[in-house]
Structure 1
Amino acid sequence: MPLGIFLTQILRDIRSQKMRTTLTVFGILWGTASVVLLLAFGQGVAEMQHKAIRGLGEYIVIMWPGRTAKVFQGLSKNRVIKFREADAALLKAQVQHIGACSPEYQKGDVKARVGKLERLIRVTGCWPEFAPMRNVIAQAGSRFINDEDLEQKRRVVFLGYELAKDLFGEDNPVGRVVLVNGAPINKKQDSSYNGQDNNRAFIPSTTFQAMYGNEFINNMVFRADEPNRTAQVKKGVYQVLGAKYRFDKDDNEALSMWDTTENEKFFSTFFIAFRAFLGVVGAFTLIVGGIGISNIMHVVVEERTKEIGVKMALGAKPRFIKGQFIFETLFLTAIGGVLGFTFAWAIVSVVPSFHVEDYIGTPVISSSVSIAAASVLSLIGLVAAYFPARRAARLNPIEALRL
């Protein structure tokens, strides 16, 4: 039979069953939209979490001093370890494959004043390497502290984005004076992006020590020159500091390390499983729609038994009967799928206008999401079409005409 006549018959059959056609298309639309939206929102949440983790710093280790848990070389356990700024220089000099390292002084509830405005802020003293490790990014026209600031103990400060906004509003803070505990820091050269450290003030570690007289630092931040060498560098840090402070290199209580590399690996694995779970839930929703289509097509075959018998009596071959029902089902599935994708795309497009990115991320209909949904949809459409079509093709024309 010519393709034009074939398509005309299918369209005529679809128009004659408007209610069933509508229910079939709606079932596929709802299932498709569910799959796409679940995967899109799942990907948005995953990317939000990855961004939050990387905002803290990529492939870094944050290390705090601890307390010894083992007797070592005649020394008792429970000895308190305290870091000095010189320890960071020692690690840079003696630990192989360490890419960057910075001490970190911290002081909270520091009074900062700009004009008549006064705020309590947190001040961090660090080295220039701190910025790239912790993803602290300067805005155009500004910079983070540098080596000269460190060597000359310059009174310069780098303000986090929110802190700069709070102190200076919409004014350009570069070059302005900030009074910190009554002491003028007269070259406010820097401003920051809206990242993890957006409410902190950064000054050179040497300036911090001169202002507050701290002998010990709070913690250190370091990173390997290659992410796959992080474990090796951590081992080297234990050996170097263990030799200096005389504790067992296997004493896990002496140093407390937060390895963000392991953290990121865990979250990557977790969100792969999370997206897979959402995909399975969405697929089951689509399968329910497919079962509905299959049941409807079985009813259609039952109602059109006599029509099928007439066609077969006039010479229509079983493969034509089967092809007609398969094509009709796939056609309805395709319409429902397109409408489902369109509906999901519309939902994803309007989500950013509600400004909920900080809570659920930004949903994304990626190519992988589209391919996965289209593949599941095609498979379900074929399975839903096959069995009713096979039943129709196997009808005996004589018995069909008697019904």
Structure 2
Amino acid sequence: MPILEIFRQTLAALWESKLRSFLTMFGILWGITSVILLVGLGIGFGIDQHERLRTIGTDIAICFGGKTAMPSGGYASGRNIQLNIGDAEAIQQDAHLVKTVSPEIRRTVSEVSQWNASSRAVRGVWPQYQNFRSLKVEQGRLMNDDDETNANRVVILGAESFRQLFPGKPAIGQPVMIEGYPYTVIGVLAKKQQNGSYGSGPDNTQLFVPFSAMLRDFPPDFKGTGPDAQAAPVGTVNNIVVQPVSPEKHVAALREVREILAERHHFDPDDLDALWVWDTLEGAQFTDRIFHVMTLFFAAVALLTLLLGGIGVMNIMLVAVSERTREIGVRKALGATARDIRRQFLVESAIITLVSGAAGLVCGVGVCVLIRMLPLPDFVPHPVISATAIIASLVTLGVITVSAGTYPALRAAGMTPIECLRTD
């Protein structure tokens, strides 16, 4: 029988059972759409979280002084380790696997502009801190070496600090009184979509000044609590931020930093409590693994939905074979071969799966594109159209097409005319 005639008869058979055919095809359509959409959302969430972590810094580690948990070199355990400016300078000079380093001090103080006032955290840092912490200006400029060397009273405002201190007003070149000292605004940071922070909050809420200027004008006192509490020596820092020369040498670089600080503060390099390190590269890799597993889970759920749609196609084809048993018998009695019968049911199954699969592909891609065009909240990522998800969908669709049509087609083709014509 010509293939066009088989195609015409198949369409006629599907049209006779419009509702059943539509519901069956919708199962495949929804399965393909689910694969593309869920995998796209999973990848989108992963990319979004990775980018948010990158706003904290690119391959950096933040080192905090802790309390020794073991004795070392004649020194007892239980000592507080307070990092200082000398530690940062030693790392800069002796740690060959560290690309850049910056000490950091923080203090919440009063800020007053001619338009408004606030009480926000100020961070004193070296200029290189701005680069590896991914600080980017929307207006003005960043701090430079001259600002640090000369202890210039200049300040960079975070996005929210700018909005509060200069509501709808220009800020560059304007004065801000910080703890009673006149500072000049030289830059306003671009708003960050930051996931995570340390110390005094996200960068959008902060003010940044040269380390030397803050150490001179309003350094933190680091005074503890209790009757015996004493202020820390001048030059004590909240933490030290380091950036290894490359991600491949990240672990070795942190070991080098730990050994330098252990020698300076007389603690065992293996004493993890003495020096606490927030490793952003390790955190980013852990987050990537979480969202990779989540994406695989989404893909598995969607593919299972697609397979269930394939089972629905097989069931509908078996029902079609049962309903058209006498028709099969008449056609065989008139000379139709088993090959003709088998081909018709295979073509019918293929039309159901391929047409609904193509519609699902268009629908899945269209939904992803539509979502990307919508003004979504910051915490909702844009789905990514994944070529891998599309290929996996098409491969699964091909397997379903063959599997769902073969058994009903073989069953129909294996019937004898007498057996078919006896059926009521």
Same fold (TM over 0.5): yes
Check if 1:243 corresponds to 2:243: no
Aligned to 1:80, what secondary structure does the other structure show? coil
- The equivalent of 1:189 in structure 2 is 186
The CA deviation string for residues 175-232 of structure 1, in whole angstroms up to 9 with x for no partner, is 222221222112x111111113111111110011011144211001111111011110
- The equivalent of 1:234 in structure 2 is 254
Greater helix fraction, Structure 1 or Structure 2 = 1
Name the CA shift for 1:378/1:170 in 2 (closer, same or farther; >3 Å): farther
- The equivalent of 1:318 in structure 2 is 338
- The equivalent of 1:129 in structure 2 is 128
- The equivalent of 2:231 in structure 1 is none
- The equivalent of 1:335 in structure 2 is 355
Name the CA shift for 1:293/1:207 in 2 (closer, same or farther; >3 Å): same
Give unmatched runs, 5+ long, in structure 1. Answer: none
- The equivalent of 2:384 in structure 1 is 364
Q: Is the 8 A contact 2:26 2:356 kept in 1?
A: yes
Check if 1:212 corresponds to 2:212: no
In 2, the alpha carbon distance for the partners of 1:369 and 1:184 equals 57
Check if 1:387 corresponds to 2:407: yes
- The equivalent of 2:111 in structure 1 is 112
In 1, the alpha carbon distance for the partners of 2:387 and 2:168 equals 40
In 2, the alpha carbon distance for the partners of 1:10 and 1:255 equals 74
Aligned-residue offset at 1:36: 2.4
Name the stretch that deviates more: 367-376 or 285-294.
367-376
In 2, the alpha carbon distance for the partners of 1:221 and 1:87 equals 11
- The equivalent of 2:165 in structure 1 is 167
Aligned-residue offset at 1:355: 4.3
Aligned-residue offset at 1:353: 6.4
Aligned-residue offset at 1:21: 1.1
Check if 1:138 corresponds to 2:130: no
Aligned-residue offset at 1:357: 4.1
In 1, the alpha carbon distance for the partners of 2:353 and 2:170 equals 57
The CA deviation string for residues 289-347 of structure 1, in whole angstroms up to 9 with x for no partner, is 11111111100011112222233334433333222222221211122223333433444
Aligned to 1:103, what secondary structure does the other structure show? strand
The CA deviation string for residues 145-183 of structure 1, in whole angstroms up to 9 with x for no partner, is 111110011111111122223322344422222221222
TM-score between the two structures when normalised by the length of structure 2: 0.89
In 2, the alpha carbon distance for the partners of 1:339 and 1:96 equals 58
In 2, the alpha carbon distance for the partners of 1:149 and 1:330 equals 72
TM-score between the two structures when normalised by the length of structure 1: 0.93
1:2-401 alignment, distance < 5 Å: 2-108=2-108, 110-139=109-138, 142-186=140-184, 188-195=185-192, 196=194, 197-214=203-220, 215=234, 216-351=236-371, 355-401=375-421
Name the stretch that deviates more: 90-99 or 159-168.
159-168
Q: Is the 8 A contact 1:126 1:203 kept in 2?
A: yes
Aligned to 2:67, what secondary structure does the other structure show? coil
The CA deviation string for residues 107-142 of structure 1, in whole angstroms up to 9 with x for no partner, is 12x211221311111111111121221111122x52
Q: Is the 8 A contact 1:41 1:360 kept in 2?
A: no
Name the stretch that deviates more: 312-321 or 116-125.
312-321
Q: Is the 8 A contact 1:144 1:158 kept in 2?
A: yes
Aligned to 1:359, what secondary structure does the other structure show? coil
In 2, the alpha carbon distance for the partners of 1:106 and 1:373 equals 52
Aligned to 1:339, what secondary structure does the other structure show? helix
In 2, the alpha carbon distance for the partners of 1:326 and 1:343 equals 25
Aligned-residue offset at 1:382: 2.3
Name the CA shift for 1:386/1:172 in 2 (closer, same or farther; >3 Å): farther
- The equivalent of 2:197 in structure 1 is none
In 2, the alpha carbon distance for the partners of 1:122 and 1:374 equals 54
Aligned to 1:56, what secondary structure does the other structure show? coil
Name the stretch that deviates more: 62-71 or 360-369.
360-369
Name the CA shift for 1:28/1:101 in 2 (closer, same or farther; >3 Å): same
In 2, the alpha carbon distance for the partners of 1:127 and 1:375 equals 55
The CA deviation string for residues 63-82 of structure 1, in whole angstroms up to 9 with x for no partner, is 10011111112111111111
Identity of aligned residues (%): 34
The CA deviation string for residues 329-387 of structure 1, in whole angstroms up to 9 with x for no partner, is 12111222233334334443444566444333222222222222222233223222221
In 2, the alpha carbon distance for the partners of 1:251 and 1:206 equals 31
Equivalent position amino acid for 2:188 in 1: S
